[in-house]
Structure 1
Amino acid sequence: MNKDLILRERLAIQRTIMANQSTFLSFLRTSMYFAVAGVSLDQLLKLPGGHIFEYIFLVISAAVLVVGVVNYFIQKRRITESTKHIGDYKFEYEQGGTYKN
């Protein structure tokens, strides 16, 4: 069995995990921007009906956060499922419990 291949796959999984975490943090940051924009818009502009814009931005903020959390856990599950096979190769043409190289 090629140990370099296993190491490369494990490192690729780690990069994928970090990319998933980074993507979640991006969703979180975007959600916070919308929340801050909603609160600031009403406070700065004092528009008639400004509360409506505030609520719209807060709803968008909550929606982005929910999408980010759901996306994070879906991708985390997919990553976990893909790590089951690393280092435990079993080929269909395997005979007698030995690997054919």
Structure 2
Amino acid sequence: MEAKKAMNKDLILREKLALQRTILANQSTFLAFLRTSMYFLIAGLSLRNLLKVENSFLIEIALFITSFVIFILGTLNYFKHKKSISENKKHIGDYQLEYYEL
């Protein structure tokens, strides 16, 4: 009986740690999207000052739009995965109930 209790406790801990790693990976991915979006924004802001390009205004607008699209996609991706993670969190509850009943 004690071995089963210890096994269930280890299982709960492993599940919680895996869930935390997944949450942190999702946050890290969002920050990568944000960083990439900011790179495009900075490129758009500094293009006119660095290069003397004909139609630089159009390139700036394209970089701003790209930055905005990357930011929106990253935000949607973050919340989609956050919802999925919270739905999968319910599966750990079965192990918790089994552990606490013993």
Same fold flag (TM > 0.5): yes
Segments of 5+ residues of structure 1 without an aligned counterpart are 90-97
Counting aligned pairs with the same residue, the percent is 56
Say if 2:27 is the partner of 1:21. Answer: yes
Give the helix-richer structure, 1 or 2.
2
Report the counterpart of residue 88 of structure 1 in structure 2: 94
Q: How many corresponding residue pairs? A: 91
With a CA cutoff of 8 Å and minimum separation of 6, indicate the structure with the bigger relative contact order: 2
Query: After the TM superposition, which residues 1-101 of structure 1 pair with which residues of structure 2 at under 5 Å, given as runs?
Result: 2-89=8-95
Segments of 5+ residues of structure 2 without an aligned counterpart are 96-100
Q: Give TM-score scaled by structure 1 length.
A: 0.84
Provide runs of 4+ in structure 1 moved above 2 Å.
none
Task: Note the aligned Cα RMSD (angstroms).
Answer: 1.6
1:40-84 deviations in whole A, cap 9, x for unaligned? 112211212100000000000000000000000000000000001
